[in-house]
Amino acid sequence: MESLDYLYNLMDESIITILGYDFTHEYLKDEFISRLKHYNVGEINSSFDVKSTIRDIKLDSILGDGRECEYLVLDTMDIIVKKEDAGMSKALNIKMILETFRTELLRKWDEQNETEFGLDFDDPQSHQQIKFKPDYKLLVTSPTYRTVGKELNFGGRSFSGGNHSLYVADLAGVITKDKLFEKPYIKLIKNRSGSNKVDISIEDIIKTANRDRKINSILPK
């Protein structure tokens, strides 16, 4: 089983990462996110403007507390299907919105790093390969639910809103566990840059999340 640092390195090389969770593990998902430099996108619909969000983040970093942001965090439950989009399934709405994120993040990086040969070539001045590292990456979190059959190989579960989002993602994993009394872990189910037959230990996240839950349970309301 690999460490969290292994997962962080994969996320750093990805534009879009998806993390699935069931509601019994939602507190672990929240702890995982809290350790990242992130911005919660909140509720959006198909007319959402990625550029406006990026502009707001930059303004907040200048005028606010100056905190850095590396990840835009979006939960699929916060994607609202408008009446005029009702003819399109929520799964396709999610896929379309994620494709919009990818296009905008790639376009912005292209504008900042464009060379006369394009992005597929080495830097003509230094003769070194250009490393892709966008200003922001997208972390999508999604509840999962049990399905009949084995649509995906993570215990017969599927993402809320459907699995179309997997086609857009570079990296995807699910917080799960194999047996009742075993500790949860993250099972990779997609890794565009390598093997997805990898399990990630989240023991440190479990310890911290359980400690915080105990503290909160004894604090006065």
| pLDDT recorded at residue 65 | 58
**Is residue 154 predicted with pLDDT exceeding 60?**
no
Beta strands, E only, 116-198: 137-146, 157-159, 171-176, 185-191
Q: How far is CA 144 from the centre of its chain?
A: 14
Mean pLDDT over 137-153 rounds to: 75
Quick one: 185 exposed, middle or buried, by C-beta within 10 A (0-12, 13-18, 19+)? buried
**Is residue 212 predicted with pLDDT exceeding 80?**
yes
Mean pLDDT over 68-92 rounds to: 80
Mean pLDDT over 104-115 rounds to: 66
pLDDT tens readout for residues 187-208: 999 998 888 889 999 999 999 9
Given pLDDT bands bounded at 50, 70 and 90, which one contains residue 155?
low
**Is residue 115 predicted with pLDDT exceeding 50?**
no
| pLDDT recorded at residue 30 | 96
Between CA 131 and CA 93 the distance in angstroms is 31
Task: Say what the pTM is.
Answer: 0.82
Mean pLDDT over 43-61 rounds to: 80
**Is residue 64 predicted with pLDDT exceeding 70?**
no
* Distance between first and last Cα of the chain: 39
- Helices 26-34 and 203-218 sit at what angle, rounded to 10 degrees? 100
**Is residue 29 predicted with pLDDT exceeding 80?**
yes
Sign (positive/negative) of CA torsion 90, 95, 99, 102? positive
| pLDDT recorded at residue 16 | 93
**Is residue 112 predicted with pLDDT exceeding 80?**
no
CA nearest neighbour of 79 among 103, 59, 60, 101: 101
Q: Are 3 and 201 in contact (CB under 8 A)?
A: yes
Identify the residue with better confidence: 130 or 156.
156
Look up residue 27 and give its two tokens. 């507190």
Cβ atoms within 10 Å, residue 140:
25
Average pLDDT, the chain: 80
Arch. (CATH architecture) of 4-218: 3-Layer(aba) Sandwich (3.40)
Between CA 80 and CA 60 the distance in angstroms is 25
- Helices 90-113 and 50-63 sit at what angle, rounded to 10 degrees? 60
